[in-house]
C-alpha cells in the first residue's frame, strides 16, 4: 500500500551495493517515491537537490566516509531527514551518526516493511514542521507549531485540548521564567474571566500528564506556590 506522503517526496539513495540499490530502488518506486541513486560521496554531492525530501545513506562508500557526507547534508538543510543504512551496529558509529545529523540508524540486513515505516514516520514529522521559523517555539524536547496548533515531544505528537495548548504556548513564550498566575489566567482565559482560579491548576496537571509526566516525578513545569508556573528546559 502506498504511504500517504510518498507521492510528493523525492528520495536520494546513497549506496554502492548493487543488490541493495536494485531491490530498494524498485520497492521505493513501487511505493510512489521518486528515487535518485548516488554510489559515492562525489555523486551524492552532485545529485542532491531541494527535490529530495529524505536521504538514505550508507556509511561505507568507495570514495569517503558517509558520516562526513551526512554532516555536510545536514548542515545544508537541517529539516531534511537523513537515515543511515549500514552493516555496522557498533555503538560508536551509532552515536557518531546521530551526532552528525542523522535522524535514524538502520542496520543491514533490514526488513523492508520496517524501513518503509520508518521513512513514513520521519516524513510525517518533518512535513509537520515545514512552516515559517517564526511560527515555531522550541522548549527543550518540545516543539510547538503555532499555525497548526500542534505540539511534538521527542518527535511524537502530543494531543492537547485548546486551553492546554494555549497554556503551554504562554509558558513557552517565557521559557525558564516565572509567569504569574494572574498573567496566565488573563492570557489564556481572558481578562474577564470570573471562574475559579483552580482551573489553572487543573489544566497544568492535565498538561503534565499529557507530556508524559507522572505524579510526584520531576516536572518540566515547576510551581511556585502562590506565585505562578515556570516551563523549564534545563
Tens of pLDDT, residue by residue over 12-71, are 999 999 999 999 999 999 888 999 999 999 999 999 998 899 999 999 899 988 899 998
Report the DSSP beta bridge partners of residue 142: 139, 153
Q: What is the mean pLDDT of residues 142-171?
A: 88
> How far apart are alpha carbons 153 and 168 in whole angstroms?
12
Does residue 156 register a pLDDT over 50? yes
- What percent of the chain lies above the pLDDT cut of 90? 44
Length in residues, the chain: 234
Instruction: Give domain 6-128's CATH architecture.
Output: 3-Layer(aba) Sandwich (3.40)
Report the DSSP beta bridge partners of residue 56: 13, 83
Does residue 179 register a pLDDT over 90? yes
Only one residue has cell 554531492, namely 45
- 124 three-class SS: helix
| Apex 212 CA angle, 206 and 217, nearest 5 | 90
Among the four given CATH numbers 1.10.490.10, 1.10.10.10, 3.40.50.720, 2.10.109.10, the one describing domain 133-231:
1.10.10.10
Q: Where are the domains of the chain?
A: 6-128, 133-231
Does residue 97 register a pLDDT over 90? no
Evaluate whether 38 touches 13 at the Cβ level (below 8 Å): yes
Q: Which residue has the higher pLDDT, 88 or 128?
A: 88
Amino acid at each position: 500500500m502506498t504511504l500517504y506522503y510518498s507521492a510528493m517526496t523525492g528520495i536520494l539513495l546513497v549506496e554502492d551495493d548493487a543488490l541493495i540499490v536494485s531491490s530498494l530502488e524498485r520497492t521505493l518506486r513501487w511505493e510512489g517515491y521518486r528515487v535518485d541513486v548516488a554510489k559515492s560521496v562525489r555523486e551524492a554531492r552532485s545529485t542532491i537537490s531541494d527535490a529530495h525530501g529524505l536521504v538514505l545513506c550508507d556509511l561505507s562508500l568507495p570514495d569517503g566516509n558517509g558520516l562526513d557526507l551526512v554532516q555536510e547534508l545536514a548542515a545544508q538543510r537541517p529539516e531534511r531527514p537523513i537515515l543511515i543504512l549500514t552493516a555496522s551496529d557498533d555503538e560508536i558509529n551509532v552515536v557518531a551518526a546521530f551526532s552528525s545529523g542523522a535522524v535514524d540508524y538502520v542496520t543491514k540486513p533490514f526488513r523492508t516493511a520496517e524501513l518503509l515505516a520508518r521513512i513514513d514516520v520521519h516524513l510525517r514529522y518533518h512535513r509537520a514542521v515545514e512552516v515559517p521559523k517564526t511560527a515555531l517555539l522550541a522548549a527543550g524536547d518540545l516543539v510547538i507549531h503555532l499555525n497548526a496548533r500542534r505540539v511534538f515531544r521527542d518527535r511524537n505528537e502530543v494531543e492537547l485540548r485548546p486551553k492546554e495548548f494555549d497554556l503551554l504556548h504562554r509558558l513557552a513564550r517565557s521559557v525558564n521564567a516565572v509567569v504569574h498566575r494572574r498573567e496566565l489566567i488573563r492570557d489564556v482565559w481572558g481578562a474577564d474571566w470570573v471562574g475559579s482560579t483552580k482551573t489553572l491548576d487543573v489544566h497544568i496537571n492535565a498538561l503534565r500528564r499529557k507530556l508524559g509526566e507522572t505524579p510526584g516525578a520531576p516536572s518540566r513545569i515547576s510551581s511556585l506556590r502562590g506565585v505562578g508556573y515556570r516551563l523549564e528546559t534545563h
